[in-house]
Structure 1
Amino acid sequence: MKVAVLFSGGKDSSYVIQWCIDQSYTIKALVSIFSMRPDSYMFHVPNIGLTRLQAEATGFIHIVRYSSGIKEEEVKDLEAAVRPLDIDGIVSGAVASEYQRSRVALVSDKLGLRSINPLWHMDSLVYLKDIINRNFNIIFTGVYALGFNENWLGRRLDDAALKELVELNKNYGVDLSGEGGEYETLVLDAPFFKRMIKIIKSEIIWEKDSGYLDIKHAELMEKGKNL
């Protein structure tokens, strides 16, 4: 099956790339939508520009389309991005967002394509344990819920972090996978990356009880070298 993968650079869209590889799908392109609004309804915004570097690390074709970020207009932007592609389906990393899943399905139906959501309603703890065990290098780039502090920014998602996420879930109701917007992530390395990403310069932006990691400069480097 020939597919396009909606790619934000975070853990979910990166995990489904690996899933496609495991299924022997042909990935024709990674598709990233750059929203002009920070509060996009459909698409990931923080550090979205780094998808260019990540796509280069994977070797897959990368398609970028800019969007006004206006509600429902974003759906038209997605349709315009995938319409020219020779594909059978669109793969997304939706976990529990019915809004996102239904809009991708709408575009897929209109274009006669399959809408494929490998993570849909997957157990979050099982999912996170799997992505950690597969040696994805994932860092937290935004935290927006009670219980988090600025020490989470730039921190790797590993077994220790997962244990703390479980506690945050118990104490504050934080969704383990961050599907409620509690946190954002960035993938620096994955099994299918040919090179990995090194952050050269970044700044923590923190206001009251939330913040994000503003990555100002990053580069590709060969795997196996010390960060």
Structure 2
Amino acid sequence: MVEIVGLISGGKDSIYNLMECVRNGHSIVALANLKPPKQQEELDSFMYQTVGNNLIDIIAKECLQLPLFQIEIKGTAESKDEHYVESSNDEVEDLYNLLKSVKDSIPTVKGVSCGAILSTYQRIRVENVCSRLGLVCYSYLWMRDQDTLLQEMITSQLTAVIIKVASMGLEANKHLLKSIQQLYPVLKSLNTKFGVHICGEGGEYESIVVDCPLYKKKINIEDFNTIIHSDDAFSQVAY
């Protein structure tokens, strides 16, 4: 058994990877999250999901009931090549500082849960940080077939709702706050017709997990505001 800190955005991938860590016999002892600067709900980051970040405290403290380590994203994507070159102003260094604070506070932590599925860019950077800190990256979803994986999430009693749409065929008034269970036929159809990534790996949508077997409490979203970022006729961006 390895003591693990879970990198979470609140989305289905990061939470489901926590479930896989537990299923494989590991212990989640803390959570870590990078939040956007104040007054910015949605940040154009190469690395991190920030929409829905206002629910991270609830997920950590009430749903998972685990200590949360959280710092603000200060850097930007300076090193954009596939192989990461350390740069003090890169957003990857924010992740380094975050995980270092976890390791300093909980020296028994030896692993990091990462929900990367397809992004080599993201995984290389997480592994770079882990290697510098002497941690092991656990990415159980890596390169899984996305259709099979999404169905597995659904049957595992994980309930995630869509909180951002950014793809042809997905619309705010029809699809926001719908569960992945409800939207699976739509996502499957869009994948068949247009090659849309069924797990949203192309940025087609973002999600937040409102219930899963690891949660002690379920989240009920009763009030929300929709922000239309781009009302393109072919691909609306809204959250």
TM-score relative to the length of structure 1: 0.89
Q: Displacement of 1:157 after TM fit?
A: 1.0
Q: Residue 207 of structure 2 aligns with which residue?
A: 185
Once the two structures are TM-superposed, the CA of residue 172 in structure 1 deviates from its matched residue by 1.7
| Residue 116 in structure 1 maps to residue 138 in structure 2 | yes
Indicate conservation of the 8 Å contact 1:40/1:69, yes or no: no
Q: Secondary structure at the match of 2:200?
A: coil
Displacement, 1:49?
2.0
The CA deviation at 1:111 is 0.9
Q: Report the AA paired with residue 212 of structure 1.
A: A
Q: Is 1:77 the counterpart of 2:94 in the alignment?
A: yes
Gaps of 5+ in 1: 214-227
Aligned match for 1:126, one of 130, 143, 148: 148
The ranges of structure 1 where at least 4 consecutive aligned residues each deviate by more than 6 angstroms after the TM superposition are none
Closer, same or farther in 2 for the Cα pair 1:154/1:63, shift >3 Å? same
Match of 2:23 in 1: 22
Cross-structure match for 1:62: 68
Unaligned runs of 5+ in 2: 79-89
Corresponding residue SS for 2:220:
strand
Query: Which aligned pairs between 1:1-12 and structure 2 lie closer than 5 A?
Result: 1-12=2-13
Question: What is the distance in 2 between the residues matched to 1:99 and 1:34?
Answer: 20
Residue identity matched to 2:95: L
Q: C-alpha separation between the residues in 2 aligned to 1:27 and 1:54? A: 14
Give the 5 Å matches for 1:78-157: 78-84=95-101, 85=103, 86=107, 87-150=109-172, 151-157=174-180
Distance 1:27 1:179 in 2: 25
Matched residue pairs, number?
A: 212
**Structure 2 contact 164–205 (Cα < 8 Å) conserved:** yes
Displacement of 1:63 = 0.9
Matched-pair contact (CA < 8 Å) for 2:75–2:94: no
CA distance in 1, matches of 2:200, 2:112: 22
Using the TM superposition, give the Cα deviation of residue 204 of structure 1 relative to its aligned residue in structure 2, in angstroms: 2.1
- CA deviation after TM superposition for structure 1 residue 200, in Å: 2.5
SS in 2 for 1:78: helix
SS at match of 2:227: strand
Is the contact made by 1:35 and 1:43 (CA closer than 8 Å) also made in structure 2? no
SS of structure 1 residue aligned to 2:19: helix
Query: The residue matched to 1:102 in structure 2 has which SS?
Result: helix
SS of 1:142 mapped into structure 2: strand
Please state whether the residue corresponding to 2:122 is helix, strand or coil: helix
- Greater percentage in strand: 1
Residue 49 of structure 2 aligns with an amino acid whose one-letter code is H
Code of the residue aligned with 1:93 in structure 2: it is G
Does structure 2 retain, via aligned residues, the 8 Å contact 1:94–1:119? yes
**Residue 35 (structure 1) shift:** 2.8
Distance 2:126 2:141 in 1: 14
- CA RMSD in angstroms comes to 1.4
Query: For residue 46 of structure 1, what is the aligned residue in structure 2?
Result: 51
